[in-house]
Structure formats: C-alpha cells, structure tokens
Amino acid sequence: MARMAGTAARAEALLGLGVVSTTPVAGGDICTATRLRLTDGRGAMIKTRPHAPAGFFPREAEGLQWLAEAGGAKVPTVLAVAEDCLVVDWVEPGKPTPDVAERFGRDLATTHRAGADTFGAVKDGFIGLAPLPNRPLPTWPEFFASRRVMPYVRAAVDRQALTVEQATTIETAMRRIHDLAGPAEPPARIHGDLWSGNLVWGSDGDVWIIDPAAHGGHRETDLAMLSLFGAPHLQRILDAYAEAYPLAEGWHDRLPLHQLHPLLVHAVLFGGTYGARAAAAAQAALSA
C-alpha cells in the first residue's frame, strides 16, 4: 500500500487533483502501470519506472502528442509527464471485433498520411528500454540501414545474440537496401513499435495506440510489426488500410525487411532465437 500511496501522491502533485483510488494494471515488464480514479470523476493511468533513462517518459509523451495531431488512430491524452512518470487518460478495455479492426485500419492510414518532415526525428528515443537513434537522413533506405539495423546488429553480436555468419547475412541485405526497399515514398507518421500489445481495444469501439517509438518512417514498418507478432482480426485491419491508402506493389514481400529492426531489438534485449529469426528475415528479403 505504501507504493500505491506514493504513486497517488505523485499523480496528485502533477495533476493538481486528488486521487480517490488506485488499482494496479496487469501486463508490461518495463514500467509499473496504475489506474487512477480522480476527484473530478475522470479515470487516468500513471506509468512509473525507478531510474528510468533520461528522457524516457518525455519522449513517449511527445510521441503520443505527435501521433494525436494526425487525427487518425486514437491516442490517449497526455495529462502530465516528468522524468519519473507519465500520466494519460484511462482507456476502458473492450473486445476486439471485425468492425473495430476495420475502423482502426482506416484510422492508421490517416495517421500515416499526416506525414513527417523527414525520415527520423528531432530527438533520439526508445523502443522498449533500447535506445532508438533518430538523427534524420534524406532517404528511408539510408535511415533504415544506418539508424534501425546496423546499430542493433553490432549490439547483438557484442551480446552474442547474433553470430558473425548471421550478421553477415543482414549486412548483405543492407548493402542492397536501395534495391530491396521498393518504390520511394515520403516520410510517414508512424508509431514505430506497433505490435498487438500496444493496441488497446477500447469499450468505446475504437483501437487506441500506446507506447510509441514515433518518428518519420516508412508506413510498411507499422504493418510489418503488426504482422510479425499478430493482432486480432489482422487481415481486416490490413484490408481496410489498403483500401484507404493503397500500398505499393510487392509490399507483402517486403515485410521481412521491415521486421529486421524489431527482431534485432528483441535479440539485443532478450537473446534466444531472435538473432536467428532476424537473419532468416534478411535472407527472405534478399530472396523476395
């Protein structure tokens, strides 16, 4: 109870409102999430992490706000942020349905269409607890190879999560990135870490996106992440997206290329078979 009392006091100090009750929220191994009931009747959620990396929560808040500005996929409103925590509106969970999935596909297309100034972002960020280099580059192939793949290849080899042979396969794909990337597209406004755990199927009939690694990127990246780890009614999402914002020919064959980054991040953070899966994705991209 002392921890919950401390969490409530922290929220009260940031919001200038009283907290009536606190309830732990299950799930998530990076931050502690707590549901708050406020004295003005609203619900909120506070995320905390002791000794969070500098800028961890501010970058998340900035990403949420930037995605919200697109007017597409629903994003919880940021109520307060500090170096040690983030407070957002509470989203009441509901059940995944085909109709909600279709709406989300169209909304995600709207978010991507909002675009970005460049490939990258003004500030570096995080994906999970891993650092996310965002320094802009003029084209997506350059950005993807230099900011999304090669830093994690080096880190995975250092952690013995990737063999030299596996790294060589990925490096070969990166040398051919301009051939593999498909038709050039302008920077899209992407979530950047869009796996099913970062979708909240709300009781209001919308899908809400959370925990972004937002930046200007390639829109196929978000679709590849959804496809990598699966999502409820995934095909309905993809079909609705493609109807609202048609994809370039061969996009499905390029999914393994875009999946390289999340697989490498998982190899760095968790080890296991993710390094081998990353090398297999690179080989699939080379063979497409």
pLDDT at 1: 37
Residues near 44 by beta carbon (within 8 Å), at least 6 away in sequence: 11, 15, 35, 36, 38, 79, 87, 88, 89, 90
Residues 76 and 110 in one domain: no
Q: Residue 170: give the domain boundaries.
A: 98-287
Last residue of a domain, one of 32, 67, 89: 89
Q: 283: domain CATH number? A: 3.90.1200.10
Number of other CB atoms surrounding residue 256 within 10 Å: 25
Residues 37, 165 within the same domain: no
Query: Is there a single domain that holds both residue 80 and residue 118?
Result: no
Q: Determine the 3-state secondary structure of 285 from DSSP.
A: helix
Select from 68, 89, 110 the last residue of a domain. 89
Same domain, 105 and 186: yes
End-to-end Cα, the chain, rounded Å: 55
**What is the tens place of the pLDDT at every residue in 170-197?**
999 999 999 999 999 999 999 999 999 9
Are residues 120 and 224 located together in one domain of the fold? yes
Please report, to the nearest 10 degrees, the dihedral formed by the alpha carbons of residues 26, 32, 33, 35 taken in order. Answer: 100
Residue range 3-32: mean pLDDT, rounded: 88
Whose CA is closest to 93, among 231, 211, 206, 203?
203
Q: Helical H runs in the chain?
A: 2-15, 56-68, 98-113, 140-143, 150-158, 164-175, 177-180, 219-229, 234-244, 255-270, 274-287
Q: Which of 72, 89, 106 is the endpoint of a domain? A: 89
Per-residue confidence at 2, pLDDT binned at 50, 70, 90?
Answer: very low
DSSP 8-class letter at 202: B
- Residues serving a catalytic function are 193
What domain count does the chain have?
2
**225 and 148 in one domain?**
yes
Model pTM greater than 0.85? yes
